[in-house]
Amino acid sequence: MKQFFLVFFIMLSLTILVAGCSINGKNEGQYHVIIVEGNKNISRDFSKFVNGEFPVTKMEYITSLEVAKEKYPYYEIAKAPAVLVFETSGGVAETLKLKTYDISDAIQFLEGAKETK
Distance between CA atoms of residues 28 and 55, nearest Å: 9
Average pLDDT, the chain: 81
User: Please, which pLDDT band fits residue 106 given cuts at 50, 70 and 90?
Assistant: very high
Distance between CA atoms of residues 5 and 48, nearest Å: 34
User: Please, which pLDDT band fits residue 89 given cuts at 50, 70 and 90?
Assistant: confident
Determine the pLDDT at residue 14: 54
Provide the 3-class DSSP secondary structure of residue 56: strand
Tell me the pTM. Answer: 0.71
Q: Which domains does the chain have, with CATH numbers?
A: 26-115 (3.40.30.10)
Sheet holding 56-62, edge to edge: 56-62, 30-36, 82-88, 94-100
> Is 87 within 8 Å of 95 (Cβ atoms)?
yes
Determine the pLDDT at residue 6: 44
Provide the 8-state DSSP code for 3: H
